[in-house]
């Protein structure tokens, strides 16, 4: 079974028709299970509000399995920060991915954020998609 953790940058790119959105959709269509933290919902809703999109964002959450860690993710956060610095939301997504799969080589990680992808790669996560990247200074 192919499992991928999905960062909000991928959902935002798909929803807004940004460059890379189609490549994201194609790569994620090949995955059996898509997982993300519920933080993704807040980030996508914020992006919709920022862009004054009035259509509902709920359809973009279809097919996602929500990860709800049952404990603080201190060990995973430390592991991520040892691999490289990322902002808080990116740190949370990477820590959740490590919580989901302590062996990072067993999990694909989908993000369009260059810095987050660099740290994910340093952690040993398999990156999806590989053809597109997003400006590291843009927030979803």
pLDDT of residue 135: 45
Contact 38, 8 (CB under 8 A): no
Contact 139, 35 (CB under 8 A): no
55-108 pLDDT tens trace: 898 999 999 999 999 999 999 999 999 999 999 999 999 999 999 999 999 999
34: its two tokens: 């898509």
2-25 pLDDT tens trace: 999 999 999 999 999 887 888 888
Model confidence at 131: pLDDT above 90: no
- Residue 88's alpha-carbon distances to 30, 41, 72, 76, 80, in angstroms, are 29, 16, 14, 13, 11
Q: Looking at the structure, give the CATH architecture of the domain made up of residues 3-128.
A: 3-Layer(aba) Sandwich (3.40)
- Locate the domains of the chain by residue range: 3-128
33-37, strands of its sheet edge to edge: 64-67, 33-37, 3-6, 108-110, 126-128
95-114 pLDDT tens trace: 999 999 999 999 999 999 99
């Amino acid at each position: 079974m192919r499992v991928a953790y999905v960062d909000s940058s991928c959902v935002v790119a798909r929803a807004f028709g940004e460059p890379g959105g189609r490549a994201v959709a194609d790569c994620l269509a090949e995955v059996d299970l898509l997982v993300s933290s519920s933080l993704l919902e807040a980030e996508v809703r914020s992006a919709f509000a920022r862009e004054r999109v009035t259509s509902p964002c709920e359809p973009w959450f279809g097919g996602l399995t929500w990860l709800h860690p049952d404990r603080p993710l201190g060990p995973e956060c430390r592991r991520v920060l040892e691999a490289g610095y990322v902002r808080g939301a990116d740190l949370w997504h990477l820590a959740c991915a490590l919580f989901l799969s302590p062996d990072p080589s067993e999990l694909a990680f989908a993000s369009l954020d260059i810095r987050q992808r660099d740290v994910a790669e340093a952690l040993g996560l398999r990156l999806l998609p590989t053809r597109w990247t997003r400006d590291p200074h843009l927030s979803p």
